[in-house]
A and B are shown apart, each in its own frame.
Chain A
Amino acid sequence: MSHISRGFRGRRRVPDAEAGRLPPGQYLTEGFPVLSAGPTPHTPLANWTFSITRSGATKGSWSWPEFQALPAENVTVDIHCVTRWSKFDTGWRGVSVDTLLDRVEHDGRYVMAFCDGGYTTNLPLDDVTGGKAWVAFDYDGQALAPEHGGPARLLVPHLYFWKSAKWVRGLDLRDTDQPGFWETYGYHMYGDPWREQRYAGD
């Protein structure tokens, strides 16, 4: 029986009526922890583009003004990080990935999100379409802060939050599912928090 620290509870709070909203093994947090594997990129908006690519070719690309001119949505979602913290009712504004893909000819069954700083993460195309994913540029009513992925990040709330790639610059369409950054180091290829798919083999 391992040691218990008298009176220690930690930062989390235990939801009562909302217990069904918390995936297995998660804790609720009031903060918004900043998790990163490298320095915060600072791409000037004048240089920022979001692209859909396929086999080395660009199928569609938007500059920041072009991106801002697209129809955007406000969404309120729960988010779940693989490090076990969850946050309910987070408010975002972004362009649905459906909106982007509808504007380009596309095929493929998977995408690899690519980002400033070199981060990548892989997702099935099905999981970024059908109203399940956005490229988000506002959080909580304000421009997304750089340490939280600004100017824009991917938002895919039904999967663990490492799939919601910060500093996203595009999606590369693929025929096969290839591991992105954390997936290469042992994290799950899919990452469903409700089936607790944290690591490969879960």
Chain B
Amino acid sequence: MEPLDGNAIGGLLIDVFGAEMTGVIGTCGYCGDTGPVAELVVYRQAPGTVARCRACGNIVMVFVKVRGTTCVDLMGMASLGQPGAA
């Protein structure tokens, strides 16, 4: 199963952040690479959704739906720009 990209979690990101996020610029906390959320490597088929930095492969976002509530872990991101500021 080939991974997708951040476009595939556009709806999920709106659920979590309340805003369109695919164009937002993120910075990887491991390697410092920057780029739009749309270009993250996304694995959607696991017990949760995992987004990895395209440059270094480390996990930057994890989404898990626990009893109907989506929990998000962004510890792999050094920063995530303001919604709308692409």
Contact = CB atoms under 8 A, between A and B. Distances in A.
Interface string B59-78: 10010101100010100000
Interface residues of B, number: 17
B71 A185 contact: yes
A91 to B, nearest CB: 22
A162 B47 contact: yes
Contacts of A200: 66
A35 B3 contact: no
Interface size class of A (residues with CB under 8 A): 10 to 19
A176 interface: no
Contacts of B45: 33-36
Contacts of B57: 38-39
A187 B43 contact: no
B47 A39 contact: no
Contact of B3 (A39, A147, A185): A39
Interface in A22-52: 33-39
B71 A186 contact: yes
B73 A36 contact: no
